[in-house]
Structure 1
Amino acid sequence: MPGVEERAVGTAGAVPAGPGAAGVSVWLDGLARERLASGRLAALARQGRIAGVASDPAFLARSLTRGPFYTGQLGDLAERGIPAERALKALAVHDIRWACDILRPVHEATAGVDGLVSVSLDPRLAHDSEATLAEARALWRSVDRRNAMLGIPATPAGLTALSACLAEGINVNATLVLSAARHRQAGEAYLEGLERARAAGRHLPALASVASFPVSRIDAAADALLDREGTLEARAMRGTTAVAAARQLHEQYERMLDEPRWHALAAHGARPQRLLWTATAVSGPGLLPTRYAAPLLTRGTVTAVPEELLEEPGLVPAGGHPPGAAAYAAAGRLLGHLGWFGIDHGELALRLESEALKELNDAWHQLLDEVTLALDGASGR
């Protein structure tokens, strides 16, 4: 099987202007080997359609069952008797390195702002900071790419690990940031990590971090509670909670950039921890495909979208200006209205975090089962 550097030939030098040129970045939601092998990811990057990738275990699980993309590597792993856990890591490292090499020109052209490939760590470790840090160190060494980024759930233990990762020079994505309170904690963990990195003599401009807010997950949960209420007023609130909550996070993000602690780090070249809007796909009759992606494409943020959404007109608005004070005030009022229907946004966010972690754990176990079956098939057992 050819090496990663051989497969990446032809991508270097093809430097796109990228969506980040106006301060707005679009990343592809999902890393699948068929996109790597077919050249589709390279084409999207070369055309300036995407400036990064964000993925989780579910995408690898789906990719394993599609076509011959893993056959050769699985056969080699099976022949060597590699167990499923180690095989899974080998498959993931292979794909991450490949994607990082494809996006390296974007990373270089944007001085490290974009061209990043974010992949989630084992979600079973979300409440164990030491185990998360050990896993992050091992994966970072194995991937060995400056434009890799490791996704760590923004639990209290996860944020402790996040700070430690940054202190050691590891790019991190604080995932499952579902409320303004958790976003504040993620931001403080980021600042702590940068301060520790600076004390250790690290080059702050080389460090990158995002805080991921899964947009549609918020609306799905809030709408279910509003439907239970059943009143005309409750129905009028459907589909409004997620964007309002995102606006609240963006307002907080801007406030944090005005704080002295951030200014001290920015003076040494530190980059902001950008907001990354995820779960932007829309399902349901009569709903605009860009109902989440388009309004959230604002300066200084990243939006991860499925590939089919890249074809939608008007995905990247000109300028990408922040929403502004009026929009932030309207978002605050709307979130306050949830209390009329007995919905506490903070409690809802904590419930969703727990549910999301369970789903990720289930997906990870399913992925291990898929890898086990694939190894058995490759070895003829």
Structure 2
Amino acid sequence: MTDNANLKALSDAGVSIWLDDLSREALTSGRLQDAVKNGGVVGVTTNPSIFQVALSDGESYNEQVSKLAADRATLDEAVFAMTTEDVRNACDVLMPVFEATDRTDGRVSIEVDPRLAKDTEGTVAQAKQLRDGVDRPNALVKIPATVEGLPAISRTIADGISVNVTLIFSLDRYRAVMNAYLTGLEQAREAGKDLSQIESVASFFVSRVDTEIDKRLDAITGKDAEAAKKLKGKAGIANARLAYQAYEEVFSTPRWKNLEADGAKPQRPLWASTGVKDPAYPDTMYVTELVAPGVVNTMPQKTLDAVADHGEITGDTITGNYEEATEVLDALERLGISYSDVTAQLEKEGIEKFEKSWGELLDGVQAELDKAAK
């Protein structure tokens, strides 16, 4: 619930507001509880970068670190214990939302170790460990949408585990993710699972697309420079709008209708990376320009505050704009900017970024364990 008119309008338009942030301080201070009670927040996402920042604040975790050190926990065991505890407690905060929305919202995500991004078997195994470690029905396990991640998504869904598929940049990969979800549901049905208990979102990244494409547009000189300039800041939104078009297509097929008749829920598109990187752009544009029924927008706190303060919600800003969105991507190709090259590079960089953050997280936790053991 929220009294803020902008956030209420966003929610009323069919957008679920999730917070892209989690820390123990947010839990112990009551900040997360307040965001859920009064700020319109109905879900939380995390990733290795967020945990790295949260756990670098040693004070909030001192007591647990001391106990883990005394128990002679390994580094991986310590990180697992610390992250799953935060997610478990956040799940408890969101449980009333989970129950009030028939298990759709009130979700909290936790990501598999990013070093497993290209390891199908390892991803499947850790998804089960995270499900069991958090032990809450409203937890989502995040699995990267790598080629190796696709079969892991199907197998995890087939096991009845709800999944947040992350690091999606291209439309082709998004369609493969939706196919993996449907395949998993079909396998779950064959195994006698209750499909109504399985939930999934597909995290389609937005601002990073503009960051990379704008850089390439800026490098264009000569006769095409003016055309390039006009395309800046348009690719991310166009790409996401076409993703929603793909979502509408897939979740209206006979294959989907058959699963829906057995209780399955659609895999909702989730707009990720919605914080604006370029200060020249409106700080709410990845929210206000991506409004449509049945989507999730997961925002960093700064973006959520900006939307609450001055976001102009004008209803559905996606459907009806597919032709214009297609033209944006076509215009980029005509200028020599390869869509497939951009999206492949962004996936590679996304994995590397999370691996780097995970490494920093491990280093930080090891240092704390060593300190506590002295």
**Alignment gaps of 5+ in structure 2:** 1-7
Q: Residue 206 of structure 1 is aligned with which of 179, 197, 200?
A: 197
**1:1-381 paired onto structure 2 within 5 Å:** 20=11, 22-66=13-57, 68-230=59-221, 231-312=225-306, 313=309, 315=311, 317=313, 320-321=315-316, 323-325=318-320, 327-380=321-374
Task: State the distance in 1 between where 2:231 and 2:39 align.
Answer: 37
Task: State the distance in 1 between where 2:202 and 2:277 align.
Answer: 24
Task: State the distance in 1 between where 2:299 and 2:261 align.
Answer: 33
Task: State the distance in 2 between where 1:27 and 1:294 align.
Answer: 15
Task: State the distance in 2 between where 1:147 and 1:248 align.
Answer: 29
Task: State the distance in 2 between where 1:219 and 1:287 align.
Answer: 11
After superposition, the CA RMSD in angstroms is 1.8
For 1:289, the aligned partner's letter is D
For 1:343, the aligned partner's letter is I
Question: How much has 1:302 moved relative to structure 2?
Answer: 0.3
Residue 5 (structure 1) aligns with: none
Question: How much has 1:314 moved relative to structure 2?
Answer: 5.3
Q: TM-score, normalised by structure 2?
A: 0.93
Matched residues, percent identical? 40
Do the aligned residues in 2 keep the contact of 1:20 with 1:51 (CA within 8 Å)? no
Residue deviations 1:92-149, cap 9 Å, x none? 1110100000000000000011000012110111111111000111111111111000
Query: 1:316–1:43: structure 2 CA closer, same or farther, 3 Å change rule?
Result: farther
SS at match of 1:285: coil
Residue 12 (structure 1) aligns with: none
Residue 11 (structure 1) aligns with: none
Task: State the distance in 1 between where 2:363 and 2:258 align.
Answer: 48
Task: State the distance in 2 between where 1:322 and 1:209 align.
Answer: 23
**Alignment gaps of 5+ in structure 1:** 1-16
Question: How much has 1:61 moved relative to structure 2?
Answer: 1.2
Question: How much has 1:67 moved relative to structure 2?
Answer: 5.5
Runs of 4 or more, structure 1, over 3 Å off, are 17-22, 283-286, 313-316
SS at match of 2:105: coil
For 1:99, the aligned partner's letter is A
For 1:70, the aligned partner's letter is Y
Do the aligned residues in 2 keep the contact of 1:18 with 1:48 (CA within 8 Å)? no
SS at match of 2:247: helix
Question: How much has 1:66 moved relative to structure 2?
Answer: 2.3
Residue 13 (structure 1) aligns with: none
Query: 1:285–1:322: structure 2 CA closer, same or farther, 3 Å change rule?
Result: closer
Task: State the distance in 2 between where 1:22 and 1:298 align.
Answer: 7
